[in-house]
């Protein structure tokens, strides 16, 4: 019995050390911030202050700002709900079943309307989550030009890095967004 206990303890220790060694180390944060684009715009060309904003916090490092931006952005992913099968007959292999489309209860017209309004709704959800996450951390919102904002964050690949560079850099030249 004692040998069995020692074997189980040894096996558990080996499995634990293997799983710890197999974990990936996190990617190191880039220490060099990207170039901050020119955000200056006349007041009449600024976009909606609820939609087109950048964040800034005085005296914060780029690494800390990037960590905050990435953490807040991680909360903004939309969850997809999948329906589980309620009935699988005995003796039938489930792998051969075709995948069914379960989101078309309103037909083709409903799908077209949903695809039109999904983009703005997705952007609104993402912005409101970023505001709710960054504001309690002490970041201040500044208004941005709609075209510049879209170039930075919708068409760019490194939106988090640019947003962190703006957050840790000099104060943006645009006015503060009202809460």
DSSP codes of every residue in 97-135: SPPPP-S-TTHHHHHHHHHHHHHHHHHHHHHHHHHHHHG
Give 140-172 pLDDT, tens digit per residue: 999 888 888 887 776 556 778 888 999 998 998
CA atoms of 81 and 48, how far apart (whole Å): 32
Say what the pLDDT of residue 100 is.
55
Query: Of all helices (H) and strands (E), which one includes residue 142?
Result: strand 140-143
Give 36-70 pLDDT, tens digit per residue: 878 888 878 787 787 888 899 999 999 999 999 99
Which range has the top average pLDDT, 33-37, 90-94, 125-129? 125-129
| Domain boundaries of the chain, sorted by first residue | 50-77+108-179
Average pLDDT of the chain to the nearest whole number: 75
Q: Answer whether 39's CB lies under 8 Å from 152's CB.
A: no
Say what the pLDDT of residue 22 is.
47
Query: Of all helices (H) and strands (E), which one includes residue 53?
Result: strand 53-56
What mean pLDDT is predicted for residues 13-41? 62
Say what the pLDDT of residue 61 is.
93
Backbone angles phi, psi at 141, to 5 degrees: -90, 135
What mean pLDDT is predicted for residues 128-139? 92
162-179: b (≥16 Cβ within 10 Å) or e: bbbbbbbbeebebeebee
Say what the pLDDT of residue 88 is.
64
CA atoms of 156 and 81, how far apart (whole Å): 28
In the block, tokens 């017209």 appear at 109
Q: pTM above 0.85?
A: no
CA atoms of 172 and 166, how far apart (whole Å): 8
């Amino acid at each position: 019995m004692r040998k069995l206990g020692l074997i189980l303890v040894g096996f558990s220790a080996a499995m634990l050390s293997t799983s710890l060694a197999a974990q990936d180390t996190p990617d190191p944060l880039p220490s060099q911030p990207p170039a901050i684009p020119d955000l200056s715009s006349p007041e009449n060309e600024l976009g909606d202050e609820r939609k087109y904003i950048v964040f800034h916090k005085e005296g914060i490092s780029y690494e800390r700002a990037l960590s905050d931006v990435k953490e807040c952005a991680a909360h903004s992913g939309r969850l997809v709900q999948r329906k589980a099968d309620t009935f699988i007959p005995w003796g039938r292999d489930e792998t051969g079943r075709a995948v069914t489309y379960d989101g078309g209860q309103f037909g083709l017209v409903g799908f077209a309307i949903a695809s039109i309004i999904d983009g703005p709704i997705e952007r609104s959800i993402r912005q409101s989550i970023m505001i709710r996450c960054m504001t309690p951390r002490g970041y201040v919102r500044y208004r941005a030009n709609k075209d510049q904002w879209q170039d930075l964050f919708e068409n760019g690949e490194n939106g988090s890095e640019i947003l962190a560079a703006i957050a840790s850099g000099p104060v943006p030249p645009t006015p503060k967004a009202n809460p």
